[in-house]
Homo-oligomer: A and B are copies of this chain.
């Protein structure tokens, strides 16, 4: 067990300093590859430089700051992303990068050198709000997307990802995927209400939910609300309402499932016209793909039974991801040593770690989000909660380093 303690104030100061890059309405608007993203990258690069880390940037702008270890094992990575949503908060993404920075500072201060090198990472365009899709930098790194695909993505104004990357000077010379990693630990805010509700300090993340989106178009008959008797109607909104209630019921029927209709459009949407068409999107998530298969079958059955013409089209699918058991074990060891309250949790949101999990041993650590808020200027995680996360990150990385470099004598 280390006696290394992260500096809560130093970490909080970094969070508050970086929140000025794109500060807006108490939160942050720091869109990928914009001037604020360049500014925070430059700041990050300066901090790494001051710590003597060796910075490599790959061809899609992912930043890798290396701290040498005693051996030349593949580096253990910490990090997340520096970009935000347009109405983002001060913690989403950047906490995972700054906590890694804090871990390295603590190690520097103590003169502690790990067996494996450590790598501090900033993944480009996690949010996907300027350039769709999200998790683009880690996706190219892991071979999920081609670099040419990334380069051609356009923002609303028609500027490409490639041009924007070059404009801010972050087109690096390292081919994507050529920077070797041995493991990945991503600290992140929960972005949900579970840890706060249960009074847990740490979420030991088991994986990422599978997520399936469907577009449903229901077509009834548009008619006059006054002159069309109840028995002669084909009301698309009544059908849609039964579907919304059924989606809730099918999620409640499976442990750990969530099911939602977040988007709905009613046509013609006039008070005295029976809705003729409703378009809506269904969002189903579960940690197990097999359960999602079952929910999908139930959804298909419900949609077919609504009594109006119904068309259902899958529009997006992300399979469930299970994180690495050794990485999770190191987080459990850390939590246990620190005697922190923790619970197992599955991520409901997408993260770069999701791509990384198919590439190297990977896991995540969650800290509470006040009121479950995220993608919102009011997003908040208290200084002590952030420090808890950084401390667990430190202990987990050291535990993993010890166990992986010397599997025999490790606990």
Contacts and interface: CB of A to CB of B under 8 A. Distances in A.
Contacts of A160: none
Interface stretch (A59-67, A93-101, A171-179, A191-199): A191-199
A178 to B, nearest CB: 32
Interface string A246-272: 001001100001111111111001111
A193 B258 contact: no
Total identical chains: 2
Interface in A312-339: none
A3 interface: no
A270 to B, nearest CB: 5
A230 interface: yes
B266 A271 contact: no
A281 B263 CA distance: 18
A336 to B, nearest CB: 25
A39 to B, nearest CB: 28
30 contacts: A190-B227, A192-B228, A193-B228, A194-B227, A194-B229, A194-B232, A197-B232, A225-B283, A225-B285, A225-B348, A226-B347, A226-B348, A226-B349, A227-B349, A227-B374, A230-B251, A230-B259, A237-B262, A238-B244, A238-B248, A241-B242, A245-B245, A260-B272, A260-B274, A261-B275, A262-B271, A262-B275, A263-B266, A264-B269, A265-B269
Interface of A: 190-194, 197, 209, 211, 213, 223-230, 232, 235, 237-238, 240-242, 244-245, 248, 251-252, 257-266, 269-275, 281, 283, 285, 347-350, 372-375
Given A194-B227, A229-B258, 11 more contacts: A192-B227, A193-B228, A197-B232, A224-B348, A225-B260, A226-B258, A227-B374, A228-B372, A235-B260, A240-B241, A240-B244
